[in-house]
Amino acid sequence: MSLVLPGKVFFVGAGPGDPGLLAVKAAKILQAADVVIADRLVGMDIIAEYVNAQTLVIPVGKQGGSSASKPQEEINAIIVKMAKRHAKVVRLKGGDITIFSNILDELEALVSANIPYELVPGITAVSGAAAYAGIPLTARNHSTGVRILTYYQTAAISNEAWQELARFVDTLVFYMSGNALPNIVSKLLQAGAEPTMPFAVVEQATTPHQHVHMFTLEEFILRQRDAEFTSPSLVIMGRVAGLYPQFAWLPNSADRSAYFTPLQGQGQFLAAK
């Protein structure tokens, strides 16, 4: 191997869970990697299937509010340090690399350290969830578009924006919002949303533990507001969600335990193969 340092960093999207959803290009890059710096929402199956035994795997799992999270600066520093020591560094992120992924911070760190990089997209959670639940996101006569949102903090959506969202004819998708659902649904209803509007909560989409829960706004707030969802889950809201019963093709898993477990070991480990 000719070692031209600094190495290159490949931002690679791992897809939502099913290892078969990894892009062919991503798989080739992973197989050739010297180091893989992996997010929490990357399944062990992907590491086991595509990463060589001699590759260094560094889990840098981030989970909302968890004390196990590595601060972003520390992650940036690890990426830069690894690129100075190794030729091919993969920054492996769950789903796609550019959606709710903190990639901006990492790109800035690389640009200021003069380290070259490449971006390889992945299948984002909502694409995986929609396909594996049989929900056509922009079905003709049901929706004219999709809005990808998050609501993990109150400030993320202004009051005016709620008014606008409540009148939606589009499909609304919420990432990182499982715990905030009672809040989201109340806000939408207060802002005048249609009480019979359906929505799906897709838990652990595309993994063997996938489970889809269907509600209407009104039903949820009256009877289900205490429902708990296994992380990761996302919400697909709007008339297209009503197509789920008709086109679902995967039965719900009875196993609602967490599919994404912390990647083995603390700190660095050699991938088991």
List residues with catalytic annotation.
Answer: 39, 62
**Residue 75 lies near ligand SAH (rule: CB under 6 A):** no
Q: Per CB under 6 A, which of residues 12..41 are in contact with ligand SAH? A: 16-17, 41
**Residue 180 lies near ligand SAH (rule: CB under 6 A):** no
**Residue 259 Cβ, how far from ligand SAH at the closest point, in Å?**
8
Q: What are the φ/ψ torsions at residue 250 (nearest 5 degrees)? A: -115, 125
**Residue 236 lies near ligand SAH (rule: CB under 6 A):** no
- 172 forms beta bridges with 147, 237
Alpha carbon separation from 79 to 10, 62, 64, 73 (Å, rounded): 10, 15, 21, 10
- 15 forms beta bridges with 95
Part of the chain binding ligand SAH (CB under 6 A), chosen from 49-57, 80-88, 161-169, 228-236 = 228-236
Q: How far apart are CA 195 and CA 197, in angstroms?
A: 6
For ligand SAH, give the closer residue by CB, 179 or 224: 179
**Residue 42 Cβ, how far from ligand SAH at the closest point, in Å?**
10
For ligand SAH, give the closer residue by CB, 207 or 216: 207
Q: How far apart are CA 253 and CA 24, in angstroms?
A: 28
Part of the chain binding ligand SAH (CB under 6 A), chosen from 4-12, 78-86, 95-103, 137-145 = 95-103
224, 201 contact by CB (below 8 A): no
